[in-house]
Structure 1
Amino acid sequence: MLEVLRPGLQTTLQDLGRRARALGVPGGGAADPPALRLANALVGNAAGAAALEITLGGPTLRVQADGLVTLCGAPFGATLDGQPFPLWRAVTVQAGQTLAVGGTARGARAVLAVRGGLGGQEVFGSLGTDLRSGFGGLGGRALRAGDQLAWAAQPPALPPQAFLSPHLHTPTGPHVTLRVLPTPEATSGLLAALTGRAFTVSGQTDRMGARLSEAVPAPHDPARISLPNVPGAVQLPPDGRPILLLPDAGTHGGYPTPLVVASVDLPVLGQLRPGDRVTLRAVTLAEAHAALRAREAEVRRAEAALRGWYAGQRA
């Protein structure tokens, strides 16, 4: 088990999310899915195993059994019994040790994975925590001091003796560009107002969405009906300050949505923090597909190599 001594700012149990949008349930899951997948690969887990998603300030955890742990994502500072704990590497931990995760100067989130995967409340096929709905994970809430997190027993294994290439790390601020695709609601005026300029991420940012500080002219249609939302949708509320939707956003909404962030850049969106500067750059569907295929191929090669490492130890 892991005993929570200090919970951090907002630490939740997350996996790759749930497929229940037809029921009006957000997909949820890790805001930086490649970080989750690579963290799980580093400790020999399945890609979607549940892990801790750390936001801005991390927890302090006491390890109650020997295990294998990794921390991937934004460059958080971390120590194991007071000694530096490396990111993007599987590390053997022993019962009685204390892992303390601090803060990060860039990005917003990291994933802490344990070999065997962490357990929690499963809802609609996922252990992911939905904070607004109050289900999944540890009863739909963030970690608290005194919580205990169990993982499934696995055969002992030596950690891979390598770091993952920095090329696989999700880009973090303070300046990022998000590739976006126009929707049928886009007009030439909205595209000109929203793309090619820098916006500032406001303090109104959480797992539902990131609101930008600067306003653009927002169309108003009192007859507009509620339409489906997806993570990455760029909504324009009446005040004109765009909202970029994240994994916990609702499945439907009534605001105009002229743009949607390309899937390849959703992890970058998940790493935005207040004060970051973000530029929206329009791309074609073919360009978005090509970028996603290239990124996915790189992640899968790394996952396959790490699976081979652990398979070799079982042989």
Structure 2
Amino acid sequence: MEVLHPGLLTTVQDTGRRARAQGFPAAGAADPVAFRLAGALVGNTRGEAALEVTLRGPRLRVHAPAVLALCGAPFAATLDGRPFPLWRAVAVRPGQVLDVGTAPRGLRAVLAVRGGLNVPSVAGSASTDLRGGFGGQGGRALRAGDVLSGHAVRPGVPPAGVVAPAGRTPVGPAHVLRVLPTAEATPELLRALPGRAFRVMPQADRMGVRLAGRLPAAANPGRLSLPTVPGAVQLPPDGQPILLLPDAGTHGGYPVPLVVAGVDVPRLGQLRPGDRVGFQVVTLEAARAALGAQERLLRGVAQTLAWHWRTGGPGVRD
């Protein structure tokens, strides 16, 4: 694929790095659910690298037969000027131009190509680390004139249906995030959560999202730097929470009174400035049950699509 226009911020991402002990941020797709479903639609089964688009997508000319899928926020996209559907695998001919426009809500989408993008692996992942300047397309966002190659696979016949809404990451503009309290959550802080609304500020990127609206101080405000994870809710001295995303550093000095439950971590990748955010404290058992239900749904969709690509069957239906 040749990049005619790069979009606002288009990067190569996959499932991320498992090298945090060596100081590497996780990186990877900010909406891992959209990433998994886009890959499954085109028959990718090993987390092959794809493109993550942000707010305004790229314009690409395809130079070889391919199967593409665009999943995530409801971006307006066209193929040679005709509507390009989301949540569906589409066969594309050489010379055709895919133009991914903007989305009225949500922030990101994943564009997967059958076989995955052929880019070098760094510390076990092809994901782009923008601050570190490595991974993906030379450690940077796409530029006009870039040419992306894919792994050589037979394009095949795409499945005929679309992924049902139940399997998709909600894209707002209002979000209620399930959270687990940590030892740094004070009773006063937990009492302040019910009914309190926050607003996503413009300071939002792949590293973190700052929220407007204050919480009471957490315990141990002067603690030493400790490990963090994507989904951690940091509370700096001004009381305005910061939600950590995949590119966040591996350690931090701010207290972390809350951690977003795994089932809702994909929603962090769809937060855009102006969205409203609330927190709902849940038990560890409830968080595990919700994540298990999500995982069963995603695996069911992936298995159905994998069966299609193995056998040429009907695949997933509406």
The answer to whether the aligner puts 1:307 opposite 2:314 as a matched pair is no
Q: Which residue of 1 aligns with 2:283?
A: 284
Deviation of 1:215 after TM superposition, in Å, equals 2.2
- Say which SS state the counterpart of residue 110 (structure 2) adopts: strand
- Paired residues of 1:196 and 1:281 also in contact (CA < 8 A): no
Q: Which residue of 1 aligns with 2:316?
A: none
Residues 261-281 of structure 1: per-residue CA shift (max 9 Å, x gap): 000000011110000001110
The answer to whether the aligner puts 1:179 opposite 2:166 as a matched pair is no
- Say which SS state the counterpart of residue 176 (structure 2) adopts: strand
Give, as a single letter, the amino acid of the residue that structure 2 aligns with 1:278. Answer: V
Give, as a single letter, the amino acid of the residue that structure 2 aligns with 1:253. Answer: G
Residues 138-171 of structure 1: per-residue CA shift (max 9 Å, x gap): 1110010000100011123100001111111100
Give, as a single letter, the amino acid of the residue that structure 1 aligns with 2:217. Answer: A
**Could you say if the C-alpha distance between residues 45 and 215 of structure 1 is closer, same or farther in structure 2, counting changes exceeding 3 Å?**
same
The answer to whether the aligner puts 1:26 opposite 2:13 as a matched pair is no
Deviation of 1:284 after TM superposition, in Å, equals 0.3
**Could you say if the C-alpha distance between residues 236 and 249 of structure 1 is closer, same or farther in structure 2, counting changes exceeding 3 Å?**
same
For 2:120 and 2:192, locate their aligned partners in 1 and report how far apart those are by CA, in whole Å: 44
For 1:246 and 1:48, locate their aligned partners in 2 and report how far apart those are by CA, in whole Å: 19
Deviation of 1:195 after TM superposition, in Å, equals 4.3
- Paired residues of 1:18 and 1:125 also in contact (CA < 8 A): yes
- Say which SS state the counterpart of residue 148 (structure 1) adopts: coil
For 2:194 and 2:136, locate their aligned partners in 1 and report how far apart those are by CA, in whole Å: 37
Superposed, 1:158-169 pairs within 5 Å as 158-169=157-168
Give, as a single letter, the amino acid of the residue that structure 1 aligns with 2:224. Answer: I
The answer to whether the aligner puts 1:218 opposite 2:222 as a matched pair is no
For 2:67 and 2:14, locate their aligned partners in 1 and report how far apart those are by CA, in whole Å: 18
Give 5+ residue unaligned stretches, structure 1. none
Q: Which residue of 2 aligns with 1:60?
A: 59
Deviation of 1:246 after TM superposition, in Å, equals 0.4
For 2:115 and 2:219, locate their aligned partners in 1 and report how far apart those are by CA, in whole Å: 51
For 2:127 and 2:303, locate their aligned partners in 1 and report how far apart those are by CA, in whole Å: 25
More moved, 282-291 vs 30-39: 30-39
- Say which SS state the counterpart of residue 312 (structure 2) adopts: helix
For 1:275 and 1:297, locate their aligned partners in 2 and report how far apart those are by CA, in whole Å: 32
Q: Which residue of 1 aligns with 2:192?
A: 193
Deviation of 1:193 after TM superposition, in Å, equals 2.6
Deviation of 1:222 after TM superposition, in Å, equals 6.6
Deviation of 1:196 after TM superposition, in Å, equals 3.2
Q: Which residue of 2 aligns with 1:48?
A: 47
Deviation of 1:114 after TM superposition, in Å, equals 0.5
- Paired residues of 2:185 and 2:219 also in contact (CA < 8 A): no
For 2:238 and 2:230, locate their aligned partners in 1 and report how far apart those are by CA, in whole Å: 21
TM-score normalised according to structure 2 size: 0.96
For 1:198 and 1:219, locate their aligned partners in 2 and report how far apart those are by CA, in whole Å: 18
Q: Which residue of 1 aligns with 2:97?
A: 98
The answer to whether the aligner puts 1:203 opposite 2:181 as a matched pair is no
- Paired residues of 1:235 and 1:242 also in contact (CA < 8 A): yes
For 1:84 and 1:13, locate their aligned partners in 2 and report how far apart those are by CA, in whole Å: 24
Q: Which residue of 2 aligns with 1:260?
A: 259
Give 5+ residue unaligned stretches, structure 2. 314-318
**Could you say if the C-alpha distance between residues 222 and 212 of structure 1 is closer, same or farther in structure 2, counting changes exceeding 3 Å?**
closer
Deviation of 1:137 after TM superposition, in Å, equals 0.2
Q: Considering only aligned residues, what root-mean-square deviation do their CA atoms show, in Å?
A: 1.3
- Paired residues of 2:13 and 2:127 also in contact (CA < 8 A): yes
Taking every aligned residue pair, what percent have the same amino acid on both sides? Answer: 64
Q: What is the aligned residue count?
A: 313
- Paired residues of 2:12 and 2:52 also in contact (CA < 8 A): yes
- Paired residues of 1:36 and 1:47 also in contact (CA < 8 A): no
Superposition misfits of 4+ residues, deviation over 6 angstroms? none
- Paired residues of 2:74 and 2:105 also in contact (CA < 8 A): yes
For 1:161 and 1:238, locate their aligned partners in 2 and report how far apart those are by CA, in whole Å: 52
Deviation of 1:240 after TM superposition, in Å, equals 1.2
For 1:188 and 1:47, locate their aligned partners in 2 and report how far apart those are by CA, in whole Å: 43
- Paired residues of 2:221 and 2:254 also in contact (CA < 8 A): no
- Paired residues of 2:200 and 2:272 also in contact (CA < 8 A): yes
Q: Which residue of 1 aligns with 2:245?
A: 246
Superposed, 1:77-116 pairs within 5 Å as 77-116=76-115
Give, as a single letter, the amino acid of the residue that structure 1 aligns with 2:238. Answer: D
- Paired residues of 2:185 and 2:218 also in contact (CA < 8 A): no
Give, as a single letter, the amino acid of the residue that structure 1 aligns with 2:98. Answer: L
- Paired residues of 1:26 and 1:248 also in contact (CA < 8 A): yes
For 2:59 and 2:282, locate their aligned partners in 1 and report how far apart those are by CA, in whole Å: 42
Q: Which residue of 2 aligns with 1:144?
A: 143
Deviation of 1:216 after TM superposition, in Å, equals 2.5
Q: Which residue of 2 aligns with 1:15?
A: 14
Deviation of 1:313 after TM superposition, in Å, equals 3.1
Residues 20-46 of structure 1: per-residue CA shift (max 9 Å, x gap): 010111111001111111111111112
For 2:215 and 2:185, locate their aligned partners in 1 and report how far apart those are by CA, in whole Å: 13
TM-score normalised according to structure 1 size: 0.97
For 2:250 and 2:69, locate their aligned partners in 1 and report how far apart those are by CA, in whole Å: 32
